Structures are given as structure tokens and as C-alpha cells.
A and B are shown apart, each in its own frame.
Chain A
């Protein structure tokens, strides 16, 4: 039912908004309504990249401007106006994708640095346009370009076009918001590294979002060129476009498909409607003040505020996890001497000259529970990071199920069936528990459709004892529950190899008992487990085999009892009186 409700609503709103065009309102109102729709399209298209994936762009003016000048050039060059619009969108999208292809390859270029970079790109584009034949300095007049009649008048036509692009943009945002790759974008927003490790192809998704975002802005720009009829560099590439777009999205809530549209309507009405147009100064001051107050008091915008209120309604008190009930048919491994699932040979990794792994070779057999132990800084976490593809090894090879994965992207390794948890849980903070877990189902080995993944996620939350909190945000959980959420998320892709990084630390003894039972259950379902742990009691109890690392080297491996009696291991753990 919900599936059909949304398109129906779009159709209704669209038809409803056509009335003003048919009713031949005074041109002033049509222009005003056009401007509202214009900002709805711009703000919503901005949020497809920036709101959803968190890459805040100050460069939306560049894409908007690219579209504006594309139409200006083509239409004054003799092409009819309407066909220039898709071309304007294509030009802007091409520009966006070209920029993204370079920028998204640079790690750490996020947040304020990405914002500044996009602003700089805008100014560079403006300078180029100004100094080449695209503009040449004086600006481009479109007054001679014939405008096809779609509404009653010229402004009516522009209103209809504005309506079309606004609806197209909001519908696109709606579709992305509810699609699989929308979920990927939201995961990128909260924690890009974790998203990649869960199997989200982050680079491709960001590029796609940027292309869509800039393309839609380009179409809006093409229409706007006709609306202003006189296109200049100073107006087109001014700071006003990114400023207002960000303001509108932030006020409405940039993470929601409808938020930017809501914000656009509010701000535009505030600016032109309430202040009557002639006191533009006061309008701008109100805009500035609103932005400040919203960031200070309502950092997630109106829709964000409402979503949060809904999910934070007081629920039942935190229950103890029920004893994990196997929900999947158990696949008992034949024995722990199966074929090797993970093979590391001579893996090396250095950070700024410090050798974290100095040639580690080990095998993990299908169906076993392997304990990975060692003193501080011995390289255990680095090994997990290398196997999962988060870090690239400097040397050596890593094979998963016989496939060489050395140097592969983390999301490709995830798709082979490798999952991990983090010592300090890293849930996606703005996604509900169900959505958190569903990300793994969608992008891991299984590649479920979104709805299947969300249904399956419910089962995994039940397995981890979190079923009654499925629609809450991770902030509502305590540490122990967050660790179980990590587990549920790692398991939801039904991985062949699960690497657990200190799942037990920080838990109370009774919580620890639950957790150890859960780890056994995981193996009983047929997964192979590698776990890093400092609480030796648990290692002795759980592990089939133990591998000891120290200063980046493998010290020894074998049955837990034997290994921990090894005098070399004892010395490494307890040290000597004479260092």
C-alpha cells in the first residue's frame, strides 16, 4: 500500500499545483510560485549528495551555473529552448562527475575541506566562464529566445517547467531515499569506513549521487536562465545559491527526502512573502539569523527533529537479552580441521615507519574458532584491518576461500563473505537498529533487496536480543547492547568468516556469559570465527586454537592450554624483572 501511496500523492500534489497556471493568476504570483519551486528543486537536488551522504557541498552554484550557461549558450545559438534543458542537466552532471572522480579518490577530504574545495571549484568555473567565449564579460541575453507556451502566459510556462523539475527532483530524492543505494548513502554519512567494510561501494555511490545531484541542479539552472533572461557570472556563481540551498536544507532537515523542499518553501515565503519583497535587507537578515539559530538549537532540522522525537518515545525498559534462539537451520561443521578459509602469508604493514606487522603467516580453517591474542601493540587489530581490506598490506598475500584478495577494496572482500566487529562499537548513529543491520544484508555477501534485508534484519536483532528496540536509534542503547548490535550487523550478511575485535571488554560477567554463548552459536551456524580478546578466561573457554602475536610477529599457535603454558608466551605477557 505504502508503495502506491507515494506516487499517488505526488500526482495529486502535482495536479493541484497546476491549478494556479490554469487560473491565470497575476504574473507576480506566478513568479513567486516559480521561485518557490525553483528553490525546492535546488535544495532537494543538493541534499541527494550532501544531505544523504554527508558530503556538504558549497559548490552547488557551480552545477546550477553550468546548467544555466549551457542553456544560455545553446538557446542563443539557435537550439529551441526545451531541448536545451536535458542538455543543461547532462553538462552539469558531466562537470560534477568529473570533479567527483578526482575528489572522492582523496581520503580525508570530507567535512569542511570538501565544502571549501567545492567553493573554490565554483570560483574557478566562474573565472573560466567569465574569460572565455561562454560569457566573455558582459553576460548573455536570452530575451530573443522564443519560449513555448505551456501555461497561459510566459510566467505561466516557467511556472509549469519549475513545477515539473521540482516534482522530478523531489521524486528522485524520494526514490533514492527508499532505494538500496540510498541506504548506502546514509551509511556513508554516518561512518564511511564501516560502510565500505560492510560492502557498500562507497566511491561509486558518492559519484552517482553527485552526478544525479548536479544534473538536476543543471536542469533547474537551465529553466532559471530563461526566467532571468539575462545571465551574468556575478549573479550565477554568487555565494547566494550555496548559502540558501544549505540554509533551506538544514532548516527543513537535510537527511529527509522532503526536508529540503519544506525548508525551501518556508525560507522563500519568509524572504519574499512576509517581507513583501521591498525590504530585501530585512529578509536576508532573517535568513542569516534563522541559519544561526537552527544550527545552534535544531542541528538536525525540522524533519530530523520530528524523526528523532518519534524514535525516542519512551519505550520499554532495557530488557536483558533473551537467550539467543537459533533462527536458522544449524549447520554443524564436521570438525575443526576443515580446509583453510583464510590464509595470510608473510603479511607486512608499516605505519609511518613503525612496523605493525612484520611478515605474519597464518591459516584459519573452515568452521574453527581462532583466538588471536598478544600484548598491547602486537598487531592484532592491524591484522583484522588488513584482512578486511580497510588497510592495504605493504607486502605478502591474503587469501579468502582460495581467492587472492590482497589490495582489493574492502567492499569487494565483504562480498566474499568477510565481516567484522569493532572493539568500540561503530553503529550508524542516524539509522535505526533495523536499518543498521539491514545495511549488512543489502551490501554483504547476500546482496538482498532492501525490503528483504530489513525483514531479515529483524531476525538477526532477535538473535542478539534486541528485537524490541529495532526501530530505535543506537544512541538509546547501552554499551553491552551496542556490542550485540555490532554482532547482529556482522552476522546479517551470513558471512563465512567473522572477525570479532574485543567483543567482551567492558561487559559485566553475566553479559559476558551471554556474549560467549552467542559466539558459539555463530560458529554452530557454520561461520568461521577469529576473535581478538584480552580476557584470557574467555579465550581459554572459547577458542579451538590460539595464535599469539607480539610486536607484529607470530610467536606461536596451538591449543589454548599448551600455548599459554609456553615459557616464551609467559615471558611476553608478564615481562622480566630486568627489562
Chain B
């Protein structure tokens, strides 16, 4: 039986990992729940953001947090463009899964072409710094990721809840025709949401670059677990992926501490399978 300190540290790191799951899942959940598009390329976009952050920080010696002011706005444009393509070709929910699968492979190849398949590690002060709280270590970068995830999820929630645009988007998700009859311009709102979702991928990417060693194939490592968080959290609910992500992160961390690290994926995927089998109508 591992010591109490070890377990507590595990729970803490689970919470932090969960924050990153939530950050990656936020945009995915929004476009799936509110636009009925499953954007698999969200992960590839996040990694593109991570590599851009890496290059801007190393080659141009920009503070990684300045990258947050550059990458997400540029990604907003990518999101708007992709939405225009989806609308132009009337891509269905299932078609979107396949198209963005193709896009994922293209972005992965692009990354491999520019940055090669070698591992890349962004060395910054944030990456290694950590605070000591009692017997526990709190890594600064991961704490910032968690806080950012919480802030973005909270802001998006409030935006959907209290603004005209947000209410219009939610109404469109339920009944686009009636929403239009009351004046909601679905096409324009969808562009905004798609842009926002891509921008969130950029934010997530910056933190991936700060915390993890980058390799193109890593794109696929996140897909399963983040999908699990998105589906468990409820599609279109901005707080859902974060909450579900933390639950999954902590369960994984405890599984790792109590058994072997390699057993961890079993937790999230078993949860995902159970949700799909027991509540398919909810998705």
C-alpha cells in the first residue's frame, strides 16, 4: 500500500492532468454539442499550436505566454474557414468525423515535415518550477493549465448563458428553424463558435508544449481519453469536460499508483464504453 503522501500527490497530479483533458475537450464538446460536428482534427490543431509555441519560444525567444496572444487568434481564423467548408459541402456529423480524420493526418504530416519526428522539449522556467505545499509538490505550469481550463470553461459557460449570442447558439442547437424564425442567424453564430473552438485548441496547445515532450504521434495518444471526458461531461456543456476530465484524471492517477502505470488507459475507456452502452441516447 503506497503512503498517504504518495496517494495525495497522485490525486493532485490527476487533477492537473484532468485540467488538461478539460482544456482539450472544451472546443471539441462545443462543436459537437452545438454544431453537431465531431472535430477529430481538434487534437492535431492543439499539437500544431504546441509546436508553434515551441518554435516561437525557442527560435524567437518569445515568452510562452506571449504565444497565447498570437496562436489562438490565428487559429480562430482556421476554425472559421473549416466551418465554411463544412457548410459548403453539407458535411454530416459522421462525415465530419472522417474529414477531420483526414485533416488530422495531414496536420501530423505537416508537423513531421517541419519539426521532424524527433522529440522536442520546450525548456522554460515554467516547465520545471514548482511550489512546495507541505509534503506535496505543485508544478507551476500544470497549475496554470488547470486555472486556464477553469477560467475558459467558466467564461464560456457564462457567455452561453448570459449573452444574446450564447442564448441564440443554444437555441439553434435545439431547433435551428424555430430559432431562425425568431431572428437567430445560425450561420454567423456557427462561424463564431467554430473559430472559438479552434482558438481553444491553440490555448491547449501552448500548455501541452509547456508541460510535455512533443512528438507528432502524440496527437493520437489524447484522442480516446479526451473523447471519454467530452462524452461523460455531456456534449455542449462547457463545464462538463473539465469536471469529467478531473474525475478521469484522478481515477487514472490512483490506478497508476495502486497498480502499474500502464493500466491507466483502462479507466477512461471502460468508462466511455459503459456510457455508450448504458446511455446512448444522452450523447
A residues adjacent to B (C-beta < 8 A): 56, 102-103, 106-109, 111-113, 115-117, 119-121, 123-124, 126-128, 130-131, 137, 238-239, 243, 246-247, 250, 281-282, 284-285, 287-292, 295-296, 299
CA gap between A484 and B265 in the complex, in Å:
53
Q: Quick check: which of B13-21, B88-96, B126-134 contacts chain A, the rest being far away?
A: B88-96
Q: Is the CB of A284 within 8 A of B101?
A: no
For window 84-132 of chain B, which residues contact chain A by CB distance below 8 Å?
85, 89, 91, 93-95, 97-99, 101-106, 108-110, 112-113
The 10 tightest CB contacts between A and B, nearest first, are: A288-B105, A291-B102, A285-B109, A292-B102, A288-B106, A120-B269, A288-B102, A284-B109, A108-B280, A123-B269
CA gap between A107 and B281 in the complex, in Å:
9
Task: List B contacts of A112 (CB < 8 A).
Answer: 38, 93-94, 97
Q: Given that A108-B281, A128-B266, A284-B105 are known contacts, is A116 also in contact with B276, CB under 8 Å in the complex?
A: yes
Task: List B contacts of A289 (CB < 8 A).
Answer: 102, 106
Q: Is the CB of A116 within 8 A of B227?
A: yes
Question: Residues 247-283 of chain B: 1 if any A CB is under 8 Å from the residue's CB, otherwise 0?
Answer: 0000000000000101101100110110011001101
Task: List A contacts of B98 (CB < 8 A).
Answer: 246, 250, 291, 295
Task: List A contacts of B91 (CB < 8 A).
Answer: 295-296
CB distance from A248 to the nearest CB of B (A): 13
Task: List A contacts of B283 (CB < 8 A).
Answer: 113
Task: List A contacts of B224 (CB < 8 A).
Answer: 119-120, 123
Q: Beyond A115-B97, A127-B263, A287-B102: 5 further Cβ-contacts under 8 Å?
A: A116-B231, A127-B262, A284-B108, A292-B103, A296-B89
CA gap between A130 and B99 in the complex, in Å:
31
Q: Given that A120-B272, A281-B112, A295-B102 are known contacts, is A131 also in contact with B260, CB under 8 Å in the complex?
A: yes
Closest partner residue, chain B, to A282 (CB atom)? B109
Q: Is the CB of A288 within 8 A of B103?
A: yes
B220 an interface residue at 8 Å Cβ cutoff? yes
Q: Number of B residues whose C-beta is below 8 Å from A?
A: 41
Q: Is the CB of A106 within 8 A of B277?
A: yes
CB distance from B190 to the nearest CB of A (A): 18
B residues adjacent to A (C-beta < 8 A): 38, 85, 89, 91, 93-95, 97-99, 101-106, 108-110, 112-113, 220, 223-224, 227-228, 231, 260, 262-263, 265-266, 269-270, 272-273, 276-277, 280-281, 283
Q: Given that A127-B262, A292-B103 are known contacts, is A120 also in contact with B281, CB under 8 Å in the complex?
A: no
CA gap between A281 and B216 in the complex, in Å:
11
Q: Is the CB of A127 within 8 A of B105?
A: no
Closest partner residue, chain A, to B227 (CB atom)? A116
Task: List A contacts of B220 (CB < 8 A).
Answer: 238-239
CB distance from B45 to the nearest CB of A (A): 14
Q: Is the CB of B228 within 8 A of A120?
A: yes
CA gap between A288 and B110 in the complex, in Å:
11
Task: List A contacts of B281 (CB < 8 A).
Answer: 108
Q: Is the CB of B277 within 8 A of A102?
A: yes
Closest partner residue, chain A, to B263 (CB atom)? A131
CA gap between A226 and B261 in the complex, in Å:
30
CB distance from A251 to the nearest CB of B (A): 11
Q: Is the CB of B276 within 8 A of A120?
A: yes
CA gap between A299 and B266 in the complex, in Å:
35
Most buried by A among B105, B260, B281: B105
Task: List B contacts of A290 (CB < 8 A).
Answer: 102
Interface of B is mostly: helix
Closest partner residue, chain A, to B112 (CB atom)? A281
Q: Is the CB of A131 within 8 A of B262?
A: yes
Closest partner residue, chain A, to B104 (CB atom)? A288
Task: List B contacts of A137 (CB < 8 A).
Answer: 262
Closest partner residue, chain B, to A279 (CB atom)? B113
Closest partner residue, chain A, to B109 (CB atom)? A285
Q: Is the CB of A296 within 8 A of B110?
A: no
CA gap between A56 and B281 in the complex, in Å:
18
Task: List A contacts of B113 (CB < 8 A).
Answer: 281-282, 285
Task: List B contacts of A250 (CB < 8 A).
Answer: 98
Q: List 21 A-B contacts (CB under 8 A).
A: A113-B276, A117-B276, A120-B224, A120-B228, A120-B276, A121-B273, A124-B265, A239-B220, A282-B109, A284-B109, A285-B109, A285-B113, A288-B105, A288-B109, A289-B102, A290-B102, A291-B99, A292-B99, A296-B89, A296-B91, A296-B99
Task: List B contacts of A288 (CB < 8 A).
Answer: 101-106, 108-109
Q: Is the CB of A116 within 8 A of B272?
A: yes
Q: Is the CB of B266 within 8 A of A127?
A: yes
Q: Is the CB of A287 within 8 A of B105?
A: yes
Closest partner residue, chain A, to B231 (CB atom)? A116
Most buried by A among B89, B99, B106, B262: B106
CB distance from A189 to the nearest CB of B (A): 13
Closest partner residue, chain B, to A114 (CB atom)? B276
CB distance from A135 to the nearest CB of B (A): 10
Closest partner residue, chain B, to A291 (CB atom)? B102
CA gap between A484 and B267 in the complex, in Å:
53
Closest partner residue, chain A, to B270 (CB atom)? A124
Q: Is the CB of A295 within 8 A of B95?
A: yes
Q: Could you say which of A102, A126, A243 contacts B101, with CB atoms under 8 Å apart?
A: A243
Q: Is the CB of B105 within 8 A of A243?
A: yes
CA gap between A569 and B281 in the complex, in Å:
39
CA gap between A107 and B228 in the complex, in Å:
20
Q: Is the CB of B262 within 8 A of A299?
A: no
CB distance from B89 to the nearest CB of A (A): 5
Task: List B contacts of A107 (CB < 8 A).
Answer: 280
CB distance from B6 to the nearest CB of A (A): 21
Closest partner residue, chain A, to B100 (CB atom)? A292
Task: List A contacts of B38 (CB < 8 A).
Answer: 112
Task: List B contacts of A130 (CB < 8 A).
Answer: 262
CB distance from B234 to the nearest CB of A (A): 15
CA gap between A103 and B265 in the complex, in Å:
21
Closest partner residue, chain A, to B224 (CB atom)? A123
Most buried by A among B38, B112, B224: B224
Task: List B contacts of A291 (CB < 8 A).
Answer: 98-99, 101-102, 105
Closest partner residue, chain A, to B88 (CB atom)? A296
Closest partner residue, chain A, to B259 (CB atom)? A131
CA gap between A576 and B157 in the complex, in Å:
48
CA gap between A299 and B265 in the complex, in Å:
34
Q: Could you say which of B89, B104, B272, B280 contacts A106, with CB atoms under 8 Å apart?
A: B280
Closest partner residue, chain B, to A247 (CB atom)? B102
CB distance from A275 to the nearest CB of B (A): 11
Task: List B contacts of A117 (CB < 8 A).
Answer: 272-273, 276-277
Q: Given that A111-B93, A291-B99 are known contacts, is A281 also in contact with B109, CB under 8 Å in the complex?
A: yes
Q: Given that A121-B273, A281-B112, A285-B105 are known contacts, is A239 also in contact with B280, CB under 8 Å in the complex?
A: no
CB distance from B276 to the nearest CB of A (A): 5
Q: Is the CB of A285 within 8 A of B106?
A: yes
Q: Is the CB of B106 within 8 A of A109?
A: no
CA gap between A282 and B113 in the complex, in Å:
8
Q: Could you say which of B106, B108, B272 contacts A292, with CB atoms under 8 Å apart?
A: B106
CB distance from B82 to the nearest CB of A (A): 11
Task: List B contacts of A243 (CB < 8 A).
Answer: 101, 105
